[in-house]
Amino acid sequence: MKIRKVELEAVAAKPIQYPEEGLTEIALAGRSNVGKSSLINALINRNNFARTSGQPGKTQTINFYNINGDFRIVDLPGYGYAKVSVTERQRWAEMIEKYLTSRESLKEVVLLLDIRHEPGEHDKMMYDWIKSFGYKGYIIATKADKISKGQWQKYTNIIKKKLGVTNNDLIIPFSAAKKLNVEKVWETVGSILELQDEHADLDRIKPEEE
């Protein structure tokens, strides 16, 4: 995909701060420090556009990135970071849940996992939630440059077994540092957007057919 324009359209802690509904939104979910911001930077080929930090739990807002004026990538706060108060973790959880359950523009939720580690309890809960709401269940397995390519299958099989993933093609090994599988992720984004275009076309046709 050719990137013409990228804009951090909104930094939101509550729904009143969200951008207007309308553009298709693809949300990125995952544990703190799993690499959501790094993924965004790699996709748009900019080093520090999406704010990254070596400190887990840094993203405390929902960040809406407008891509070419065509769709949004939405960076959700990371979950599972223990070194904050229970109250603060609860606030983040409520912020994420409110967006995920109320946002009409949200069309897909992609789960990011560190390929090197077996998914934990929070990852399992998030993946089950994603599937229960009818989303496809795409997983981007980050930091794939930290293991040899020959081991990718072994580690993706662990993810598949732990989460109950039924299709190997839904798991994409990825590295922001080495730009591994950037095109594969863009293909996935493209397929999500094409599916939404098809649904929109059907919605426009239905009234005439009836």
Query: Please, what CATH class does the domain formed by 6-209 belong to?
Result: alpha beta
Task: State residue 52's pLDDT score.
Answer: 60
Residue % of the chain over a pLDDT of 90: 71
| Structure-token match 């939101």, residue found | 12
How high does pLDDT run on average in the chain?
87
Q: Could you give the CA distance from residue 150 to residue 152 in angstroms, rounded to a whole number?
A: 6
Flag whether pLDDT at 201 surpasses 70.
Answer: no
What are the residue ranges spanned by the domains of the chain? 6-209
Q: Could you give the CA distance from residue 117 to residue 196 in angstroms, rounded to a whole number?
A: 33
Flag whether pLDDT at 83 surpasses 90.
Answer: no
Most confident listed range (48-57, 74-83, 170-179): 170-179
For residue 23, which amino acid is it?
L
Q: In the predicted model, what is the mean pLDDT of residues 105-126?
A: 96
> Does the model's pTM come out above 0.85?
yes
